[in-house]
Structure 1
Amino acid sequence: MKAILNHLKDYPAPDAVLFDLDGTLYRGNEPVPGADRLIAGLQARGLPCLFVTNNSTRTPKEVAEHLHIMGISAEVQSIVTSALATAYYVQLEHPGADTYVIGERGLREALANAGLHLLGDEEQDRNATIVVQGLDRELTYSRLKTAVKHLLNGAAFVQTNPDRLLPVDGGFLPGAGSIGASLQAATGIEPIIVGKPSRILMDYSLRLAGTAPSKTWVVGDNPYTDLAAGRTAGCPSILVLTGLCSMDNWQDHCSAAGVTPDAVFDGPEQLEEYLNGQLSDNQQKGRL
């Protein structure tokens, strides 16, 4: 089965592959057909696979466990969340800072592990150096009010990811970007965005992979985040029609996002077929 679009021969074979999760390897609690075999095959060849997600709510261990349920073997060290990248960025820019957090366990744990001091509700009179905001499904007006107070008092503003909608089984919920939009509207302060399509998450992922951008392929279902992030980082970008895009609308979405994928595949099975052929050719050449 041929790819819908394929210019990957213009690039060297990958040294690592960065995979989006929801919409690419699974949809909610349903695995995408062929995703388990694709990942297992690449891992058997010794090709590093990193799993890169804008979701900041879960810890890497929880993400790895979810992938295992989907039939995909993933080490905790191969999970790259926007929470981890945010913690890395904040630790570099504001080491040990008093930090006010709107977010869930995944973000709080990452920030605490990076040595940031997370202000508790009993420390509301203490001025935060930085407000870090992700998705918080138990958000209260009181916490929004406190975050606004810190921002207006001069705190820096960092947001884990810009996604305004969170896909769930049967529909959508307001995402981290929707919470960030309310804080931005209240304060007039624009946040630093860490997650896709920002370079911060991608640069952090490349640092963990230890590979050059031109030899690190990005695979995702969303032109606005996955492909845009790959393009920004200088990585070959592959669109799979397993989530946001279909055969009928992928060109419209890519045009609206201002990106052109290097390849378009129906899904993991088609991508696996292509990668198996290319990697086998390279191994054969290496023996000559």
Structure 2
Amino acid sequence: MSRIPATQSPAVPGSTDGGGRSTDRRAWVIDVDGCLVRTATGGGAGGTPMPRAVRFLEYLRARGERYVVCTNASQQTPHWYAEHLREMGLAVEDEAFVTAGSAAADHIARTHASGRILAVGGPGFLETLTGRGLDLLGPDRWQEAEAVVIGADDTYQTRWINAAALAVDGGAAFYTCVDVKWFHGGIGKSIASSSAMAAAVAWVTGVEPVILGKPSPALGQTLLRLLDAAPRDVTVLGDSLVEVELAHAMGSEAILLLSGATSAEEAAAIPAGKRPRHVLEDVEALFNLLAPEEKDHPHE
């Protein structure tokens, strides 16, 4: 896995290290849907950039700040999603884009030496797994599976869900990319398909899956390795409570935006020990906080 080069950069306003001292280095984990992009489809597909989102990433790049864009989407490859964002003007390289699917592939490749995996999901998800050298089994070979992993798809087939349940019931490790109920991208909500399929297998087998996307510690470790950053130097930016939970799992700080999955009332109800560093309306409000001299310039 490539790493984002380390650089020196100013801190987020008000951020401190564990001893209360102001830091001068920042690295960012940035959500896509409901944060950078307003969309009804996972990973930013078919959406439009949030106001100032393009300028926000330009600002980070100009100041040499490291960032990884991370989505809980898993249906396509990181390259597919990153290319789509670049077409919108959002400066995201392939190596700086992490999906729940790529995080799952990284974890499984590290922890299951045989690589014999029963994977349920769409073609892009399967391509992400094979790109890590994993041997994906067909449903007729479920007895050989060391692990089962479920990602997103539009057209799940009963024979694959049956094979996944049989493999888990037979003792295979069980993973899911996400366990959130709904997808929020700033335009309504829709069911998180991989969560629903994983819940079906869990209901049948009585085995709960290990989550490998947000907010799992496994994903947090992947992100820290990619950024090559200390946890205290990382800010996780997102519109959902899972991003706040991810930040706590990483030992990092969070900025929560109210432009997608979380209402102001839900943000106010977060327990004191788990609150984000800042709660802001959207990425435009964050950009204005970081670069007040550009606040009155025309929006991108």
Q: Give the TM interval when normalised to the shorter protein.
A: 0.7 to 0.9
- Alignment partner of 2:274: what SS? coil
Paired position in structure 1 for 2:209: 191
Name the stretch that deviates more: 168-177 or 50-59.
Answer: 168-177
Task: Give the Cα separation in 2 of the matches to 1:241 and 1:182.
Answer: 31
Higher helix fraction (1 or 2): 1
Aligned partner letter, 2:62: A
Task: Give the Cα separation in 2 of the matches to 1:230 and 1:110.
Answer: 25
Paired position in structure 2 for 1:285: none
Task: Give the Cα separation in 2 of the matches to 1:52 and 1:154.
Answer: 31
Paired position in structure 2 for 1:165: 182
Q: Which runs of 5+ in 2 are unaligned?
A: 1-12, 40-46, 293-300
Is the alpha carbon distance of 1:208 and 1:194 closer, same or farther for their aligned partners in structure 2, counting shifts above 3 Å? same
> Does residue 266 of the first structure (1) align with residue 281 of the second (2)?
yes
Question: Could you tell me whether the CA contact under 8 Å between 2:239 and 2:259 is conserved in 1?
Answer: yes
- Alignment partner of 1:8: what SS? coil
Deviation track 1:77-120 (CA, whole Å, cap 9, x = no partner) reads: 10011111111111111123211111123321121121111012
For residues 32-47 of structure 1, the aligned pairs below 5 Å read 32-47=50-65
Task: Give the Cα separation in 1 of the matches to 2:213 and 2:282.
Answer: 24
Question: Could you tell me whether the CA contact under 8 Å between 1:96 and 1:115 is conserved in 2?
Answer: no
- 1:153 Cα deviation from its structure 2 partner: 1.4
- 1:219 Cα deviation from its structure 2 partner: 0.4
Deviation track 1:41-71 (CA, whole Å, cap 9, x = no partner) reads: 1111111111011111111111112212332
> Does residue 17 of the first structure (1) align with residue 28 of the second (2)?
yes
Task: Give the Cα separation in 2 of the matches to 1:105 and 1:243.
Answer: 28
Task: Give the Cα separation in 1 of the matches to 2:199 and 2:149.
Answer: 14
- Alignment partner of 1:124: what SS? helix
Aligned partner letter, 2:59: G
Is the alpha carbon distance of 1:14 and 1:237 closer, same or farther for their aligned partners in structure 2, counting shifts above 3 Å? farther
Question: Could you tell me whether the CA contact under 8 Å between 1:167 and 1:173 is conserved in 2?
Answer: no
Deviation track 1:178-210 (CA, whole Å, cap 9, x = no partner) reads: 111111110011111111111111110110000
Question: Could you tell me whether the CA contact under 8 Å between 1:56 and 1:83 is conserved in 2?
Answer: yes
Paired position in structure 1 for 2:15: 8
Deviation track 1:26-47 (CA, whole Å, cap 9, x = no partner) reads: 1211221111110111111111
Number of residue-to-residue matches in the alignment = 268
Aligned partner letter, 1:22: D
Deviation track 1:230-253 (CA, whole Å, cap 9, x = no partner) reads: 01110111111211224454213x
Aligned partner letter, 1:245: T
Is the alpha carbon distance of 1:216 and 1:108 closer, same or farther for their aligned partners in structure 2, counting shifts above 3 Å? same
> Does residue 48 of the first structure (1) align with residue 48 of the second (2)?
no
**TM-score normalised by the chain length of structure 2:** 0.83
Paired position in structure 2 for 1:235: 252
- 1:211 Cα deviation from its structure 2 partner: 0.5
Is the alpha carbon distance of 1:271 and 1:13 closer, same or farther for their aligned partners in structure 2, counting shifts above 3 Å? farther
- Alignment partner of 2:69: what SS? strand
Task: Give the Cα separation in 2 of the matches to 1:273 and 1:27.
Answer: 19
Is the alpha carbon distance of 1:140 and 1:211 closer, same or farther for their aligned partners in structure 2, counting shifts above 3 Å? same
For residues 1-288 of structure 1, the aligned pairs below 5 Å read 7-9=14-16, 10=20, 11-28=22-39, 29-121=47-139, 123-124=140-141, 126-167=143-184, 170-223=188-241, 225-252=242-269, 254-255=270-271, 259-276=274-291
Task: Give the Cα separation in 1 of the matches to 2:36 and 2:130.
Answer: 29
